[in-house]
Amino acid sequence: MPFCLASLSFSAGRRFTAILLLAALLHIWPRASLQAQYAGWEGRYLNFGLSGTRLFTHDYSLSPLVYQGLLGGLQLGYQDQIGPWQGGINITGAGGRLHPLAFHEQNQTLTLAGRAYFHFRYQVGPSGPFGVWAGLGQASYWDYHQVEAYANNAIDYTGLFSVGPSLGAQWNFTLPLDKAQPYWGLSADLFGGVGAQVLRPGYITPFIGDEIATNEWRWHGQQQHWRARLSLCWLRTNGNQLRLSYVGNFFWIEQPNWVQNASHRLALEALLRL
Amino acid sequence: MLLLLPLLWLGCEKSWKERMRDDSPYHNFDLLWETIDQKYAYLELKDLRWDTVYWHFLPQIDQNMGDEALFAVLDSMLYLLRDGHVNLRSPFDLSRNWQWYLGYPDNFDAELVERQYLGADHRIAGGMRYTFLTDSIGYLRYSSFGTTIEEGQLRAVLRYFKNARGLIVDIRSNGGGSLSNAYRLARTFVQNTQPRLRRLYRTGRGANEFDRATGLRISKPEDPRGRFSKPVMVLQNRRSYSAANTFAALMSQQDSVQLLGDTTGGGGGLPIDYELPNGWYFRFSGTRELMPNGRDLELGIPPDIPVQQDSANSRQGRDRLIEAALARLR
């Protein structure tokens, strides 16, 4: 049951938010060009962060019902931008409890989620305040669920190790009231998995003969994997950065037990320049 | 465009969540029927036409029906599966079909066994109760495979029966529990033939989509102190179910073992838990298990020596199955 754009239904509040966001972007656009020569992104960084994730999963190995919940997480990473090259790895570990969307009071489910995302890109767009990078990305996801109310099928898991194109964009700007530094930036990232190694339970039981039941390569179409990130970055004069990042993830894996997983992650990150 | 993605995402998610929150009687009925249709292991073995079942029960569903009425319909539908591993659990009742033992003689009186055979001074190790019935014939009662057997306890029991000429293992009215306990106890009696079972997993939505039969082979313990090699009689009745049924299937493949009593109740499939949008839980058999000769464990394991208890025996304080086993072991 992939997300259907046709079923979009923005509420009045969301429409208003969208208009405000667009207006703000249009307002800062001209000022961005003033920072054409700013090179505040360059360097090597270590990345530490705290995150909160709202996770939805519809997993036929786990239940015919949709589960949702909040996960708290820690993240660690490294990234660099040297000349036209850009690369990095981000690892997030998160844990929390999910419950069925249809009823909240029972079947709390322990969930542990691991996310690692690696990218390596080359600048293909204009130099200056706005730049575009293109390259390869690799996303490794691992979700583990343990359902308290179940017995033989209490364990459920998904391993997804995707490879695909990765696009990045960066944009410098100053806020209207800023007369000088600090500078601000927006950084965005989009990844789509072309193929993936998939680890999943069997159609009925988590393991077959004590082994992971499904461990095979799937191309796009038998699975889908999308990851989008948008970060608001505060580029400090000492070279460090503070970021507020939103990461949206969606993956879907086909039969025998299809799983659909969507998450929103909000993270506060500190990037320390090495 | 990248900046608008989160908003698009939120919009899609909202409509999707609304659909998934539906806990109407129709949605509950559909999910239960569909799960059994796509995941239950025995539709073909039991010759059930599940599509027909759907059209029979659908008219009984009403958008405004109460929980009790919905439960009654779903209960009636699941009853047709004739499976002790199929239940629907609501806050007010548990649906079940227990005809696998209610329709048959019990052949077991726990109080009679305790008073007349085990006696006041029998030994207890974990879930096992044991004693000598005569100078040379041991008796081991194991009432639930849900009670863990530790290796140390098993060794102690075997030490106790070291000089026994034979042993009666009584699993009557043992409703099952953990298969690990069944395997551990069965290992003790393995001689030259390794008992085997095959488990079949459903691999897709079709009622006959099974694959990757996984073989189970029980080998004898390497340490001779962990084995019992004298003749063994296993007492079973219709209430010997699930893991006890599997234990009987393993024991039946041993030359030194004979099964005595009634056919076991079955319960060959691994129970799988699921839930409905209204918060009720249900479970169903998700796998099939076969003997080397192809017999499905769901059908129960017949005894080598059929013996029935009758009320006259009970009145006389005699357990006919134990007496029959004693007579053969003497």
Residues B49-54, mean pLDDT to the nearest whole number: 96
Instruction: Evaluate the CA torsion angle A120, A122, A125, A130 in order and state its sign.
Output: positive
Residue A6 burial by CB count (10 A; 0-12/13-18/19+): exposed, middle or buried?
exposed
ipTM of the complex: 0.83
Q: Supply the DSSP symbol for B226.
A: G
B178 touches chain A (CB under 8 A): no
* Of A5 and B307, more confident: B307
Beta strands in A148-258 (DSSP E): 155-173, 183-192, 195-200, 207-208, 211-212, 214-219, 223-235, 241-253
Q: Provide the greatest CA pair distance for chain B.
A: 87
Query: Could you tell me the pTM of the whole model?
Result: 0.84
Picking from A56, A65, A170, A186 by the largest number of B CB atoms within 10 A of its own CB, the best residue to mutate is A65
Interface of A with B in 76-115 (CB under 8 A): 100-103, 105-107
User: pLDDT 10s digit of each residue in chain A, 274 long?
Assistant: 333 333 334 455 565 566 556 545 444 443 444 443 345 788 999 999 999 999 999 999 988 888 999 999 999 999 999 989 999 999 999 999 999 888 766 668 999 999 999 999 999 988 778 899 999 999 999 999 999 888 889 999 999 999 999 999 998 887 766 565 558 899 999 999 999 999 999 898 888 877 888 899 999 989 999 999 999 998 888 889 999 999 999 999 987 788 999 999 999 999 999 8
Q: Supply the DSSP symbol for A98.
A: E
What is the residue-averaged pLDDT of chain B? Answer: 91
Contact: A66, B278; criterion CB under 8 Å: no
* Of A177 and B62, more confident: B62
* Residue of A25, A152, A248 with shortest CB distance to B271: A152
Q: Supply the DSSP symbol for A40.
A: T
- Answer for the pair A176, A24: CB distance below 8 angstroms, yes or no: no
Residues B143-163, mean pLDDT to the nearest whole number: 93
Interface of A with B in 14-53 (CB under 8 A): 14, 17-18, 21, 25
Residues B55-78, mean pLDDT to the nearest whole number: 97
Contact: B2, A169; criterion CB under 8 Å: yes
B156 contacts: CB under 8 Å, gap ≥ 6:
B125
- Answer for the pair A248, A261: CB distance below 8 angstroms, yes or no: no
Look at strands B210-217 and B232-236 and give their pairing.
Answer: unpaired
Q: What is the pLDDT of residues B256-297, one digit of tens each?
A: 999 999 999 999 999 999 999 999 999 999 999 999 999 999
* Percent of chain B residues topping a pLDDT of 70: 94
